[in-house]
Each structure stands twice: as C-alpha cells, then as structure tokens.
Amino acid sequence: MKFSFYIAKRYLFTVSKNNAINIITGISSLGIIAGSMAMFVVLSVFSGLKDFSLSFTNDFDPQLKVESSKGKTFFISESQEQQLKEIKGIQFFSKTIEEKALFTFNGKDQLAFIKGVDSNFINVTSIEKTIFQGEWLDHDSYQVVIGSGIAQKLSVGLFDFKNVFEAFVVRPGKGAIENPETAFNKIQLNPCGFYFLNEELSQKYVFCDIEIAQELLELKPNQITSIEFKLSENHNEAEIRKNLTAILGENSVIKNRNQLNESLYRMLNTENLILYLILTLVLIVTLFTLIGALIMMIIDKKLNLKTLFNLGSNLKELRLIFLLQGFLICIVGGLIGISLGSILVFLQLKFELFMITPSLAYPVVFSLHNIFIVIGTIATLGFLASWVASSSVNKKLLE
C-alpha cells in the first residue's frame, strides 16, 4: 500500500511527456472541480430555498401539536394543565379550537377555518410578525385577525362598522336538517388585523378568542380540539412525547412540524433527490474523461510498469497505483471545487450578488451536510472510475 501510494503521488504531480495525456488529465480535473463546485452551490441554493419555503409554515405551525384520535374535541382539566406546565422542555402551550365555517361580508361569502386561540398562542407561534395591517386581537373581545386572501375575496376592511362580518357553523346534533334557519350558529365579529404567510395559508384561517369559538360551536369551557407547544432549545422530543401521552392519555395524537406538513416535506425531499441525481449524472459523464486519462497514462507508463513487475511488484500493487492516483485526482478536485463553491456561497450571503426580485436575494445555506454529500459522491464515483481504469493493468499488458 505504501509503495503504491508513493508511486501514485509521483504520477499525480509529474507532467507526462505526452501532451495529449496532460490535456486529457487537465480536462478531467477541471471537470471534477467544476462538477463538485456546481453540486455544492446548487445544493446550497436548494437548502436556502427549502428553508425559505418552510419559514412560512414555521412562523405559523407549533413545534408539537396534540389532537385526539377519537373525535374532533377532547377535554382538558386544570390538573392536566398544571402537569403540562411542569414538563421539562416545554416553554409555552396554547389551547386551540379549529372548525370550518362560512364567513359572510357585504353580500359575499367564503369558506375557511375559524381558529379560537388563547393568550399564549402568540408565544407558541410567530403569528404576530405576519400581521401587515392592523394588530393582533384583544382577548375577551369579538375581534378577529383575517388572512389576506380571505379579506381580499370578501373585500373586508378594518373596523368597518357599516357592514357586518359574520361566521356561520353547522349546529351540533344528529338527524336531518328540518329548518335551515335554525341549522346554523352565527356570530358577528370585528376584523382588527390582516396576516399574510403564503397564498394557501392566507386563505385558510380567521383567528378569534377561544371563548368566542366555544360559544359559536357550543363547546364547554374545558373542551378544545388541540394543544400547541413551543419547546425549549435543548429539548428531548421523545421524552416530551412520552410525558404528554402519560398526561393526556393514549388517545392523544402528537405531531411535530414535519408530520403537520408531511406532503410539503415529501415534495421538497423528492425535489432534492431528483436534483442530486441529475448532478450525479453530470459527474458520472465527467468521470469518463478520467477513465480515459488513466488508461492512456497506463499505456504511457507501460515500460515503467514492466520494470516494477520484474523487480518484484505484483499485479495487485500495480493496479493499486492507478486506483489511488485516480482517487486522489477526484479528492483534490472535489476539495478545490467545494472551496470555490464555499467562496461563492459566502459572497452571496454577504453581498447578495444574485437576486430573485429587486428586494429578495437568492437564499443560500452553507451546510456541512452538503459538503459531506459532495465529498462522499465524488469519492464513491471517483473510486469506481479509477477501479475501472486500473483493471486494464493485466499480465497481457506486461508481457
């Protein structure tokens, strides 16, 4: 191994007398550098776009959410609330009620979700910073915060006392509806603020005080649909889940942000995988030039190999020389490409060289995870390419 590695290093930094071999080797090295740089930069950009996409839901979704597996609602007692406060790793929790409702304003109507929240909700999520007009609702009032998409469709204005903003929900009960006029509960609400997250979420929710939602849905004071949690930085999610199940019962369903947005995470991960496979294919095509360069170098060093073979080197050691040489070319080229890509990523982070819009730069993330992916890919493909080329060293060549 030491002998083969020593010869491989000599060949790596020695210029061949054959200019064609030098040119092909240079092209393959530049291809590896460019390919690894492109892979690292593209993965960094995609990581930035992924974080940018998830930032909308992260502002809105809690770190953990508990619902019931049996029915829409469940009851929580004061003793259970006290036990939740004592769980290590939980900073805040908020009781919420969520139900689909019909909202009407000035002859227009729109289906959306009414979400009743308590005063702790702004501590659990970052909903307040998404309000672009007006302010967050005052609790113990009939104020509501409306998504911008809902407000636009209904043409709702803030503190418009001339027109009535109403919410309708189906009255709880069984059997067929006999009288449409008594089939719904309704309530008049006062819009006090508009929020915007993205097009989908801004058409989904109208926030109100939890007591208003309980009144509208005819629920009891301790009856809710979910509990949302904000966790401390150094939390143990598995331990918290275990404690929540012990307090709230086996019928509780606990979801984190990934599980709450399972389809979004699946889509982003699928896109990331497809992108990675495309970039890997580009690297595979590039490494064909490395195979060609190594084979030409083997032919060029034929006399040297015969000499080494006659001096006692075996076939395995001779093959290992070119296996290591090709592997070193890939590793050195990959490290140079990652270094150049890192410089470009840091320049984008600092100076915002490339813009999506005049006010929004392409988001990028410098991640060690991406470095390991690129190095691992280059090392694996480089090893395979070098192994294919080194296998051309055989007894027939040395005869």
**pLDDT at residue 398 in the model:** 78
More confidently predicted of 56 and 378: 378
Which tokens belong to 84? 């939740």
Under 8 Å CB-to-CB from 65, ≥6 apart: which residues?
226, 227, 228, 229, 254, 255, 256, 260
User: Do 35 and 282 contact (CB within 8 A), yes or no?
Assistant: yes
Q: What share of the chain is helix, strand, coil (3-state, %, to 5)?
A: 55, 20, 25
Q: What angle do CA 308, 310, 314 make, to 5 degrees?
A: 65
Q: Is the pLDDT of residue 12 over 80?
A: no
Residue 353 tokens read as: 């060289």
The H or E element that residue 209 is part of is strand 205-209
Percentage with pLDDT > 90 across the chain:
73
pLDDT mean over 241-256: 96
| 142-156, 234-248, 287-301, 369-383, range with the lowest pLDDT | 287-301
**How do residues 151-170 score in pLDDT, each as one tens digit?**
999 999 997 878 899 999 98
Residue 174, pLDDT score: 66
Interior CA angle at 168 toward 162 and 145, to 5°? Answer: 60
Q: How many CA atoms lie within 13 A of 183 on its CB side?
A: 9
Model confidence pLDDT, tens digit, residues 167-208: 999 887 665 566 666 788 999 999 999 999 888 889 999 999
User: Would you say residue 331 has pLDDT above 80?
Assistant: yes
Asked if residues 97 and 219 have their Cβ atoms less than 8 Å apart, the reply is: yes
Contact 289, 23 (CB under 8 A): no
Collapsing DSSP to helix, strand or coil, 317 comes out as helix
pTM of the model: 0.84
- Mean pLDDT for all residues in the chain: 92
> If we measure between CA atoms, which residue out of 60, 19, 9 comes closest to residue 300?
19
User: What are the phi and psi torsion angles at 273 (to 5°)?
Assistant: -65, -45
Query: What percentage of the chain has pLDDT greater than the value 70?
Result: 97
Q: Name residue 105's beta-bridge partners.
A: 108, 165
pLDDT band at 242 (very low <50, low <70, confident <90, very high): very high
**Confidence at residue 137, expressed as pLDDT on a 0 to 100 scale:** 95
Please state the rounded mean pLDDT for residues 264-286.
Answer: 93
pLDDT confidence of 17, banded at 50, 70, 90? confident
Q: Report the distance separating Cα 384 and Cα 245, nearest Å.
A: 50
pLDDT at 57 (0 to 100): 84
Residue 348, pLDDT above cutoff 70:
yes
User: Measured between alpha carbons, how far is 117 from 125 in angstroms, rounded to an integer?
Assistant: 11
| 399 pLDDT more than 70 | no
